[in-house]
Amino acid sequence: MDYDVLILGGGLIGCAVAYELSKYSLNIALIEKDYDIVDDVTLVNSAIIYDGIQCEDNIMSKLQFMGNDIIGDLVSKFNLSYKKCDSVIIAQNKKQGECLEEVYKRAIKRGVPNVTLLEGKHTYNLEPNLNLNVINTIYSQNTGIICPYDLGIAYGEIAFDNGVSFKLEEIVEDINKINRGFKVVTNKNKFTCRMVINTTPEDYNIDGFRENDSSNKGYLKYFLVEKEFKGNFNNIVFTYNQDNEVIYMHPTVQGNYIAAIKTKDNISYEECYRRISSLVHGLKQDDINSFYESEFYDDLMIIDDSLVDKGYIKVTGKNFAEVTMTPSIARIIRETVESNLKCKLKNDFNDKVREIYRFRDMSNEERSKIISLDKRYGKIICTCNKVTEGEIVDAIRRPLGARTLEGIKRRTGAGGGSCKGAQCMNKIVSILARETNKKMTDIVKDSKNSRILLNRIKEFDDI
């Protein structure tokens, strides 16, 4: 066999599974169709770490609560940016108030700690800027905010450093059952393996394995709000409007805010602004940096191991709290693989992310020190987010290094400031071309057909 385990898909779940399995003496490869890992994670790099109280389903709630706990450990182990941020869920009418009482009772029954039901008036002590008629509130001290992309990159880099082979830009086309394993056919190769963990949405016809379709439950529309916005909240604030749509606002780990609405209708920017303003008073159009919209999913996340005796596990479902559930899903898969392959833990597993130096977070003394070691840390490329050439070169040279403009932006923040790359895009393209030994015209934004510079217009040596 070429591999003990083949993981299909290098999204957040695929990378988390790769990390968990890289703790074992196993020969593992991960196949991802895109140029980069964790490419599909939410574009606005910030996610709420939920605690499971808003979930109706008990198993999803448990996956969230377990994931919340594991992320607490990973944050310090992987040195990730994390904002411990409590949350309030606010009812504005009697019916919503009764629902919140039920949610509270359910949370207590599930044994979720640090959750309190507050009378309306006490909510203003937590949120003095609130301008709503509050009936009652659930206050949870379990929640937080993370950058899911950093989590995925950390999972991927550690897995890579512990021997997982990442096959990027390779599309899985078919899987065939063979004696004691599988043959996985990609657009470039054929691999044999003992087990397959499929984390992609694709379904391959293995012994009539059934597909579990994701069902779109509406839309999530959100504004990225500038750091300077005043009138923000102290907690993650959720509330419902007259039509029971959820409107919420929370800070991001980068210091901005996200103001969002979950809606059944595909509403316009203006309508979104109008509805969100009912919670976020004083939000001006000038405060909005960007507008994002996406489909909203609330599927059950299922680890389908019905074919595990043959060596096949499939993760199905799309869920708004998938980031929170990912660590628990990966641990469950790890336990299943361990008992299936009877594998042993490695003695030399290295559970560390290589150091990252962020110029904007350093003291002047630290800056002088790093510049004396590498002068590229003294050359600012992205002035909005204070990202240096040193950080961009590191992002390219690290394990599973960035190869695209988007990869640089997500790893370092370069090009993600208020000028949206107008000042630095050319410089980043030039560094990427130099470091990867490519022409500037071959550098892409994120995928094959997203070239940034189409042609040279003048034949100078430098642009």
Ligand X SMILES: Cc1cc2nc3c(=O)[nH]c(=O)nc-3n(C[C@H](O)[C@H](O)[C@H](O)COP(=O)(O)OP(=O)(O)OC[C@H]3O[C@@H](n4cnc5c(N)ncnc54)[C@H](O)[C@@H]3O)c2cc1C
Beta bridge pairs of residue 177? 182
Residue of 283, 287, 322 lying closest to 301 (CA atoms):
322
Dihedral class, residue 181 (left if φ above 0, else alpha if ψ from -120 to 50, else beta): left
Region 128-167 residues binding ligand X, contact defined as CB under 6 A? 148
**If binding is defined by CB under 6 A, does position 172 make contact with ligand X?**
yes
Q: Are strands 3-8 and 190-198 parallel, antiparallel or unpaired?
A: parallel
Region 48-67 residues binding ligand X, contact defined as CB under 6 A? 48
CA 32 to chain centre: 16
The residue among 48 and 130 lying less far from ligand X, judged by its C-beta, is 48
Residues in contact with ligand X, shown as a per-residue x/- string from 291 to 330 under the rule CB under 6 A: ---x-----------------------x-xxxxx------
Region 215-234 residues binding ligand X, contact defined as CB under 6 A? 220
Residues in contact with ligand X, shown as a per-residue x/- string from 267 to 296 under the rule CB under 6 A: ---------------------------x--
The residue among 17 and 283 lying less far from ligand X, judged by its C-beta, is 17
Count of C-beta atoms within a 10 Å radius of residue 8: 24
4, 20, 34, 287: which one binds ligand X (CB under 6 A): 34
Beta bridge pairs of residue 224? 258, 290
- C-alpha 447/C-alpha 463 separation (Å) is 23
Question: Least distance (Å) from ligand X to the CB of residue 430?
Answer: 28
Residue 161 near residue 125, CB atoms below 8 Å: no
5, 7, 13, 164: which one binds ligand X (CB under 6 A): 13
The residue among 41 and 387 lying less far from ligand X, judged by its C-beta, is 41
Question: Least distance (Å) from ligand X to the CB of residue 125?
Answer: 26
Question: Least distance (Å) from ligand X to the CB of residue 149?
Answer: 9
- Contact stretch for ligand X (CB under 6 A) within 2-10, 132-140, 176-184, 230-238: 2-10
The residue among 217 and 318 lying less far from ligand X, judged by its C-beta, is 318
Which residue lies nearest ligand X, judged by its C-beta? Answer: 11
Largest separation between any pair of C-alpha atoms in the chain = 71
Residue 94 near residue 134, CB atoms below 8 Å: no
87, 200, 328, 388: which one binds ligand X (CB under 6 A): 200
Q: Are strands 165-167 and 190-198 parallel, antiparallel or unpaired?
A: unpaired
20, 32, 287, 391: which one binds ligand X (CB under 6 A): 32
Question: Least distance (Å) from ligand X to the CB of residue 382?
Answer: 24
Question: Least distance (Å) from ligand X to the CB of residue 383?
Answer: 29
Number of residues that bind ligand X (CB under 6 A): 31
4, 22, 30, 42: which one binds ligand X (CB under 6 A): 42
Question: Least distance (Å) from ligand X to the CB of residue 304?
Answer: 14
Residue of 289, 235, 38 lying closest to 150 (CA atoms):
38
- C-alpha 53/C-alpha 112 separation (Å) is 8
If you ran DSSP here, which 8-state letter would residue 354 be given? P
The residue among 9 and 415 lying less far from ligand X, judged by its C-beta, is 9
Question: Least distance (Å) from ligand X to the CB of residue 156?
Answer: 11
Q: Helix and strand tally (H, E) in the chain?
A: 11, 21
If you ran DSSP here, which 8-state letter would residue 248 be given? E
- C-alpha 14/C-alpha 8 separation (Å) is 7
- Contact stretch for ligand X (CB under 6 A) within 35-43, 211-219, 266-274, 379-387: 35-43
6, 19, 26, 39: which one binds ligand X (CB under 6 A): 39
**If binding is defined by CB under 6 A, does position 245 make contact with ligand X?**
no
Residue 225 near residue 35, CB atoms below 8 Å: no
- C-alpha 422/C-alpha 429 separation (Å) is 12
Question: Least distance (Å) from ligand X to the CB of residue 13?
Answer: 4
- C-alpha 143/C-alpha 64 separation (Å) is 11
- Contact stretch for ligand X (CB under 6 A) within 29-37, 90-98, 157-165, 371-379: 29-37
**If binding is defined by CB under 6 A, does position 185 make contact with ligand X?**
no
E strands in 322-401: 380-382, 387-388
Query: Token pair of 268, please?
Result: 């316009």
| String of DSSP letters for 293-328 | EEEEEBPPPEEEEEETTTTEEEEE--BTTHHHHHHH
Residues that bind ligand X in the complex, under the rule CB under 6 A: 8-14, 31-34, 39-42, 47-48, 148, 171-172, 199-200, 202, 220, 294, 318, 320-324
